[in-house]
Amino acid sequence: MASPIRVELFRNMAPEHPIGAMVEHHQYIDHGIELLVMTVLLAPKTPIDLVFGWGGKCSARFVHNYLHTQSSLKNDLPTDLQRRGLNDIPHHKYAQYGSKFYNAIDSFVKRYIDVYYKSDFAVKNDFELQN
């Protein structure tokens, strides 16, 4: 999933672009993880390949299909928790701690963007960001 985003980042944004720099920082790590998934987790004779009923090859197909059909920006954590009714369960650890992490990341990203963009209009008119 990260590779196409990273390619577009390199094609359309200057290395100094503030949003590009933030995304690249995180994509760098994600890119490494994606490579490791195929070679360490889903390769032939790995524990997942040997233990999962559908093996590593079909697990890779499942992940690929999910990312291309189900994954969406509309499926963020708050939406997922609400859709599954997890917000209403007292002391649900995933909902509690996941929400704390989500809110911390959301707050950081908003403050980071606010440093460089004074309005939504400025974001919409950033040529590199919109292309």
71, 90, 116 - which closes a domain: 71
- How many structural domains are present in the chain? 2
Give me 26's structure tokens: 């995180």
127, amino acid identity: F
Task: Kindly state whether residues 84 and 125 are assigned to the same domain.
Answer: yes
- CB count within 10 Å of CB 27 equals 19
pLDDT tens string, the chain, 131 residues long: the values are 567 777 888 888 888 899 888 888 777 777 778 778 888 888 999 998 999 888 998 988 888 888 778 767 677 899 989 999 998 898 999 999 999 999 999 999 999 999 999 999 999 999 988 88
Q: What Rg do the C-alpha atoms of the chain give, in angstroms?
A: 18
46, 71, 96 - which closes a domain: 71
Task: Kindly state whether residues 64 and 78 are assigned to the same domain.
Answer: no
Q: What is the pLDDT of residue 1?
A: 55
Q: What is the pLDDT of residue 30?
A: 75
Task: Kindly state whether residues 24 and 7 are assigned to the same domain.
Answer: yes
Task: Kindly state whether residues 6 and 21 are assigned to the same domain.
Answer: yes
Task: Kindly state whether residues 5 and 66 are assigned to the same domain.
Answer: yes
